[in-house]
Amino acid sequence: MFLLETIHPVAGTGMFANAWWMIAAPLLVAAILLIGGRMLDAWGHYLAVAAIWFSFAVGACLFAEMWGRPVTERVVESHLYDWFSVGAWSFPVGLLVDPLSIVFVLLITGVGGLIHIYSIGYMAHDPRRRRFFAYLNLFVAAMLTLVLADSYLILFVGWEGVGLASYLLISFWQERPSAAAAGVKAFVMNRIGDVGMVLAISSMLAMFGSVRFVDVAAGAAALEPMWATLIGIFLLVGACGKSAQVPLQAWLLDAMEGPTPVSALIHAATMVTAGVYLVVRSHAIFEASPVAQMAVVIVGTVTLLFGAWIGCSKDDIKKVLAGSTMSQIGYMMLAAGIGPAGYAFAIFHLLTHGAFKANMFLGAGSVMHGMNDDVNMRHYGALRKAMPYTFYTFLMGYLAIIGIPPLAGYFSKDHIIEAAFHANLIAGVCALLGAGVTAFYMTRLMFMTFFGQERWEPGVHPHESPKVMTVPLIVLALLSIIAGAVMNGWIQGWLEPAAGNHPHEVSLIPTPIGLLTIVVVLAGVALGWALFGRRSVPTTAPASSNPITITGRNDLFADAINDIFVVQPTGAVARGVATFDHNGLDKAVDSSAYAFGGLSAQVRKLQTGFARTYALTMVAGVVLVGVVLILTHLA
């Protein structure tokens, strides 16, 4: 058994010294595409795709190299240069390639590469396609910086980079006011999380004198419990912002205003899972503080239920998937909060989720592509004949997410539910319930989209998407099928050097809890079929007085709550300050100006323009001086 504490990073040599190319290539291409101008419009996107696959190739080589190394030498740290130093603190820039970051690299570049290919077709008619690909490459570079960083500071650089790329891509169709507003909303809510990150990094600097992962992990065990809890909570706030966890979840649903490949890559597969990565990467801190761990579990559990709740009540296909993403990340958070038993499962679910959720988002994009960009599922129906590739690939994603064995989601989610039951009965029951609800809303989505009656809007002629879009779908569907079974027995041992977890025996045969999960999932599917498969679906959402439905349709009133508790108080303070500024400061400054103006108007009257008056003044002055001199002389 190897714990992180016993494994020291080895210096990056050979192939590992070239790891920075993975970040540099997409960054360089992003710069070229943005600076190059219109002459790159015709072929710039091929350059972008090539950059991502180049990064993937480098990542795959590193993975192969790491595979061949003994376990103790798999954590490789390569120092690039020294950024800056202040007093006793110095901030080197380095890359940490370890089993945890390398699977992220493969996920980001692999799924990202497929989504890039898909985007060639999806964005074919967009006049700003070159800029879109530049932003996507910028995102990939930032995301790779985030996962390859060897210190919290470098991680934060990537963290902000993905935030910027997310903002740019959500509001990519900037001519739509809703998209522009959604971008701003995501950006602002992420800043709240960033405050947590900055506080965490500052606290680490104060406590450990370093923000490198190895130093923090080494010092965490000896940390005072209060500080461990504080740093853990700060990190959790950062993770909540980036991963759209309650209470900072409201931006994710609006983020669906962005182009669908963006939703698939950033808001499903990679960026929103950065919070989970952060928690797992900081596991030493969380292990030092049971309170912070419990907070992570609570946040994860609440979010997985809230996300599922939203997923049940939305008619917008992308928002259903967004709610589902929230919910699945809640599962990952829950697993990451459980402790060493859950880290590997959190990452496992993250990887499988990255595959099947990207698959479903791209499938939704393919459906929208054929339906004139209509996202309302009530206008779909019976699309399985019109879009066979999309249907079958989506079906694989669907079976994977609800957890039908032996598809990917079954293994990863089942492990989390089981670990949750071992850790905490309430969390376990909630996770089990969440699995049932997931099955329900995904079944609803399937039936409303691909089965039932045709409810198409007039003039809409659904058609299958071009090959450049369906091929990535097929690859992702294959991953949705096999990823779970392939990684099931391997992932725990692989992550051990990085995540400090202890492998448990996992079997391919369902345990009692696994069987219970399958029963709950089938019940959810049956309910979904009974409500949406058997009956016909009305083309407008029926009015409902059910408070649960109303709450779900309104995103759990998250915007209203934010409005009451954050926006309105802030606005009131701002208005108060403005009133004071206007009536207090401005009036004071203005009135003193008026006073001086009036005074000078009086003084000005002395200037008559008559030279003789001036002469008289001078004579009077001279006489006065003379009199004073004489008087003082006499005295």
Partner 1 sequence: MNPENFLILAAILFSIGSVGVLTRRNALIAFMCVELMLNSANLAFAAFAQMHGNLDGQVAAFFVMVVAAAEVVVGLAIIVMVYKTRRTTSVDDANLLKL
Q: Contact positions toward partner 1, by CB under 8 A?
A: 604, 607-612, 615-616, 619
**Min. distance of Cβ 606 from partner 1 in angstroms?**
11
User: For the chain, what percentages of helix, strand and coil (3-state, to nearest 5) are there?
Assistant: 75, 5, 20
Nearer to partner 1, 585 or 622 (CB): 622
Nearer to partner 1, 623 or 628 (CB): 623
Nearer to partner 1, 206 or 619 (CB): 619
Q: State the Cα–Cα distance between residues 395 and 481, nearest whole angstrom.
A: 10
Nearer to partner 1, 508 or 623 (CB): 623
**Min. distance of Cβ 604 from partner 1 in angstroms?**
6
**Residue 67 near residue 60, CB atoms below 8 Å:** no
**Min. distance of Cβ 614 from partner 1 in angstroms?**
10
**Min. distance of Cβ 594 from partner 1 in angstroms?**
19
Nearer to partner 1, 461 or 604 (CB): 604
Nearer to partner 1, 13 or 608 (CB): 608
- What is the residue type of 125? H
Q: State the Cα–Cα distance between residues 533 and 451, nearest whole angstrom.
A: 7
Q: State the Cα–Cα distance between residues 554 and 263, nearest whole angstrom.
A: 20
**Nearest to 288, CA basis, from 341, 225, 340:** 225
**Min. distance of Cβ 610 from partner 1 in angstroms?**
6
**Min. distance of Cβ 607 from partner 1 in angstroms?**
6
**Min. distance of Cβ 599 from partner 1 in angstroms?**
15
Half-sphere exposure of 66 (CA within 13 A, CB side): 27
Q: State the Cα–Cα distance between residues 132 and 134, nearest whole angstrom.
A: 5
Nearer to partner 1, 619 or 625 (CB): 619
Q: State the Cα–Cα distance between residues 157 and 389, nearest whole angstrom.
A: 40
Tell me phi and psi for residue 498, to 5 degrees. -95, -40
Nearer to partner 1, 127 or 597 (CB): 597
**Min. distance of Cβ 630 from partner 1 in angstroms?**
13
**Min. distance of Cβ 584 from partner 1 in angstroms?**
34
Q: State the Cα–Cα distance between residues 243 and 359, nearest whole angstrom.
A: 19
Tokens of 288: 């030092």
Nearer to partner 1, 567 or 619 (CB): 619
**Min. distance of Cβ 622 from partner 1 in angstroms?**
9
Looking at residue 555, the DSSP 8-state letter turns out to be G
Nearer to partner 1, 572 or 616 (CB): 616
**Min. distance of Cβ 634 from partner 1 in angstroms?**
18
Q: State the Cα–Cα distance between residues 246 and 237, nearest whole angstrom.
A: 10
Nearer to partner 1, 84 or 610 (CB): 610
Nearer to partner 1, 124 or 619 (CB): 619
Give one DSSP letter per residue of 57-109, joined into a string: HHHHHHHHHHHTS-GGG--EEEEEEEEEEETTEEEEEEEEE-HHHHHHHHHHH
**Min. distance of Cβ 586 from partner 1 in angstroms?**
29
Helices (H) and strands (E) in the chain, counts: 27, 3
Looking at residue 150, the DSSP 8-state letter turns out to be S
Q: Which residue has the tokens 């934010």?
A: 562
**Residue 366 near residue 469, CB atoms below 8 Å:** yes
Longest dimension (CA), the chain: 123
Instruction: Please work out, in degrees rounded to the nearest 5, the angle formed at the alpha carbon of residue 242 by the alpha carbons of 479 and 228.
Output: 110
Tell me phi and psi for residue 12, to 5 degrees. -75, 120
**Residue 48 near residue 130, CB atoms below 8 Å:** no
Residue 427 contacts by C-beta under 8 Å, 6 or more apart in sequence? 297, 300, 301, 334, 338, 420
